[in-house]
Amino acid sequence: MISGFHQFEHTELCMGTVFKFQGRSSLPHGPHISAACDVLHDADRMFSTYKPESPISRLAKGETRVADEDPLISQIWDECLEWERVTDGWFSAFTPQNTFDPSGLVKTWAAQRAANVLLEAGIFDFTMNAGGDILIADDASGELDWRIGVHQPISIAEAPDAILTVVDLKGTEFRGFATSGSAERGLHIWNPKASGKAPAEDLLQVSVVARDIVTADVWATAAFAEGPACLRRLEKTDGVEAIIVLPNGEIDGTSGFAKILAL
């Protein structure tokens, strides 16, 4: 413990997953953690596809219009369209049924907004685990804050210690980490350029590091949808590195990924 600083840890169940805050601060952190969690739950109420009363669910049923809802709905709509453009169409918030499902963006978008609550309060030394996607604040000082285990493409519930490799982001530009695959939620990512979902035989898992958690999450989703060819695209994407696991057990990655492996 740094002199005058106290460690804090808080776990919040939201969006059908677990958000975990860990850090150190000389400030009273409780009220700010509570406010950050309110941001998460507000996002869940607004964007959940599982809550029939949410605006997103009502949009899918044709019961409302984007223009009639909170401006955040329109903001997320526009951000999803921009990410679709940036990823050359491999990220899309429009399902094969042509309904709007921004789940591939909203979780980490909300996580970043929740983290901003702490940053604006003057709490700079922390990390957040958003259902397996990681955000590291610039001043994170814990011995293990910067080291992230990349899990093998099997359910964490079945094998919590099955680590594929470990990355060390200390001293790099990277502050976000995200993984997409079928181990935890099945084939929930669809192929936006073909009918149906991305075929399971193409790719088991993609893990991406980026300058922020939202960018990492979106590119992980887009890469999984595209399949192994994603590495050629990610090689040309500034501020992003990735590792993929193929169905035959082979591992591949962008050329810069080896530089962030923990020694």
Tell me the pLDDT tens digit for each residue of 1-56.
Answer: 445 678 999 999 999 999 999 999 998 889 999 999 999 999 999 999 999 999 99
User: Is there a single domain that holds both residue 131 and residue 173?
Assistant: no
User: Is there a single domain that holds both residue 20 and residue 50?
Assistant: yes
Separation of alpha carbons 258 and 112, rounded Å: 27
Summarize pLDDT for 45-95 with one digit per residue, the tens.
999 999 999 999 999 999 999 999 999 999 999 999 999 999 999 999 998
How far apart, in Å, are the Cα atoms of 93 and each of 82, 90, 139, 229, 240?
11, 10, 33, 21, 21
What is the pLDDT confidence band of residue 171, given thresholds at 50, 70 and 90?
A: very high
- φ/ψ of residue 161, rounded to 5: -105, 15
Closest CA to 176 of 219, 236, 222, 118: 219
Q: 216, 243 in Cβ contact below 8 A?
A: no
Q: What is the CATH number of the domain that holds 235?
A: 3.10.520.10
Please give the average per-residue pLDDT across 171-183, as a whole number. 91
User: Is there a single domain that holds both residue 96 and residue 131?
Assistant: yes
Question: Does the pLDDT of residue 198 top 80, yes or no?
Answer: no
User: Is there a single domain that holds both residue 209 and residue 259?
Assistant: yes
Q: Which residue range(s) make up the domain with 16?
A: 1-140
Separation of alpha carbons 255 and 130, rounded Å: 27
In sequence order, which residues have a C-beta less than 8 Å from that of residue 169 and are 6 or more positions away? 136, 146, 147, 148, 175, 177, 209, 260
More confident residue, 2 or 262: 262
Please give the average per-residue pLDDT across 188-207, as a whole number. 75
Question: Does the pLDDT of residue 263 top 80, yes or no?
Answer: no
Residue-level pLDDT at 61 = 93
What is the pLDDT confidence band of residue 199, given thresholds at 50, 70 and 90?
A: low
The beta strand positions in the chain, using DSSP E, are 6-14, 17-25, 125-130, 133-136, 147-151, 163-168, 176-181, 205-210, 240-245, 251-253
- Interstrand relation of 147-151 and 133-136 (parallel, antiparallel or unpaired): unpaired
Q: How many domains, in total, are found in the chain? A: 2
Separation of alpha carbons 84 and 61, rounded Å: 23
More confident residue, 187 or 220: 220
What does the mean pLDDT of the chain come to? 92
The percentage of the chain sitting over the pLDDT mark of 70, rounded to a whole number, equals: 94
User: Is there a single domain that holds both residue 41 and residue 134?
Assistant: yes
What is the pLDDT confidence band of residue 127, given thresholds at 50, 70 and 90?
A: very high
Separation of alpha carbons 251 and 204, rounded Å: 10
Tell which of 85, 106, 140 closes a domain. Answer: 140
User: Is there a single domain that holds both residue 52 and residue 128?
Assistant: yes
Largest Cα–Cα distance in the chain?
Answer: 57
The alpha carbon dihedral of 213, 215, 221, 227 has a sign of negative
Closest CA to 74 of 56, 48, 89, 54: 56
128 residue type, one letter: M
Question: Does the pLDDT of residue 128 top 50, yes or no?
Answer: yes
Question: Does the pLDDT of residue 186 top 60, yes or no?
Answer: no
Residue-level pLDDT at 97 = 84
User: Is there a single domain that holds both residue 155 and residue 109?
Assistant: no
Please give the average per-residue pLDDT across 112-116, as a whole number. 98
Tell which of 122, 140, 158 closes a domain. Answer: 140
Question: Does the pLDDT of residue 197 top 60, yes or no?
Answer: no
User: Is there a single domain that holds both residue 177 and residue 232?
Assistant: yes
> Which stretch of 52-56, 129-133, 157-161, 206-210 has the lowest confidence by average pLDDT?
157-161
- Alpha helices, DSSP H only, in the chain? 30-47, 55-60, 71-86, 103-120, 213-226, 230-235
User: Is there a single domain that holds both residue 69 and residue 130?
Assistant: yes
Residue-level pLDDT at 83 = 98
User: Is there a single domain that holds both residue 151 and residue 107?
Assistant: no
